[in-house]
Structure 1
Amino acid sequence: MSTQPIIRVENVSFAYQLNQDQQVPVLQNVSLEVFPGEYLAIIGHNGSGKSTLSKHLNGILTPKEGDVIVNGINTREKERIHEVRSRVGMVFQHPDNQIVATIVEDDVAFGLENIGTAEEEMKERIDFALEAVGMSAFRHRPPHHLSGGQKQRIAIAGILAMKPQCLVLDEATSMLDSYGRHDILAVVRKLHSEGMTIVTVTHHMSEVAEADRVVVMEGGKIVLQGTPREVFSHQERLQELHLDVPDASRVAALVHAEYAAFSPALIHNEEVVAEVNRVYVRPAEASGS
């Protein structure tokens, strides 16, 4: 990954205005960097500020204090906000709320039309985006005939057509069934493997385990961060924050408590299986006799 961040969040504080006299603080002096090609997961229980933080990354929200810089552009520069959003695209929780057209390819074209993309280039970008999410065969379908997972893939295609550097997913799989989640995660893995920067806000710890880095939020602040393996090693702290860990981490910790030779630092099911084979295989089996 590049050493220069694509997004810099610098001492950001934010509060929602309830009425003329009352504000609800949500972010408190948050600083964060997102690097090109990184897969970053942001987690925290409800009300921790994670979704509010994600909405600052492409200028949907503007800090009350502090700054968010995207490729050198401050999101406070409203005359350049279209540049920010062309670099950082966002997919939200409810697929139906993101569909604006009655035909799939028209929906993917919506953002391109708004920025005056030439017709030939628009066609190329739509083809590219639908192919990237595996939805080319559905280009002439009405979106309301699609499943939730397919609609979310169309939403992602609409963002990809704008050729962003970073894709932010704000609980983008939380309303989907297991099949829909599987489809979206497959798309995200593919995009990340091709070099796209991914920021995901999620409560599914199996998704978090696939990230390069995890940021944990509580009370509008970042309270813990590191690789998934590092973060999930703090199981007691995560429990205090009302957060879960992957099943593999829980099993590894329980077994380690009984058998010290068993590694507790496991986050994938395949790792648990391999560790069982390493620790418990009998000498005769290991030697093949």
Structure 2
Amino acid sequence: MVDDRHFFPPYEAAALVSQQLERDSPSAIATLTLLSGRLDVQTMRQLNRRVEVDGEDVKRVGSDELRALGLVGGKQPTPGARSSVQRSSFWSYLWDRRATIFSLTMRHLLLVAIALAAAVIVAVPLGLGLERARRVAEPAIGTLGVLQTIPSIALLAFMIPLLGVGVTPALIALWLYALYPIARGTYSGVRDADPDAVAAAEALGTTPRQRLLWVRLPLAAPVIMAGIRTAAVITVGAATLAAFIGAGGLGEPIVAGLALADTRMILSGALPAAVLALAVDGLLAVVEGLIAPAHRRRRLWERHDRLTSPGSASG
């Protein structure tokens, strides 16, 4: 973010000393003047990050910077000092913060799991109920779809006056975002189940409940799982913004990195979030394949065998 309107004052080091210091240690004044023009904006942001985000001692950070500038002697700067930070690669930065990133990932995953589970518990029965009341189905699902048009950050901000900040408003916002894909998938899957299979079950004398549980719901399972997969990916992405209201997760380094203009810190939250979204989607894809009807799995395996057979390769 560039301060093109010059809202924030520039970082300019100025020595504020008392007359007593000038009398007792004249050399200290000369030393302080050596800092003139040596501390730029990027350097100050890095120093502030070490104190405010990493929790390092102010004296240690200051002494490290003085050593990095060559103004004092003694031992080399600690690994967190500016010179070492500049030399270190992004991957070593991630490795050094692996414990923190793992903790944030687990918290992020917990937020997603709770919100997604709550959405499944509500949206699947809702979709089944709407299939039996088709007159109100489309208006009801359309109302849920309106929530998808609200920007995530706006919905989270709307929760603050109602529920304050923290985990609870974040979970409710994520839950609202996850409802629509699951409800839509459930309703469409059950409604569009193979009519021949449903008619055959009806001819055998099954009740509507039996046809739902034994025929229509199993046939709709892949469509329902597709909705859950979509909701999961949306929730993983939206959960990064939950850090803005104090819910934690992988959004924390993103928010802090934006404030400090630290690209590595931003990526330390964004990349794990992207990997997590892919991992969750892949896991749910496996589950989708396992719960697919047997005849569909058989067709998929037959197609796989045809594509991988030697004859198909030569053709």
The TM-score range, normalised by the shorter chain, is: under 0.3
Q: If the length of structure 1 is used for normalisation, what is the TM-score?
A: 0.24
Q: If the length of structure 2 is used for normalisation, what is the TM-score?
A: 0.23
**Larger relative contact order (Cα-Cα within 8 Å, sequence gap ≥ 6):** 1
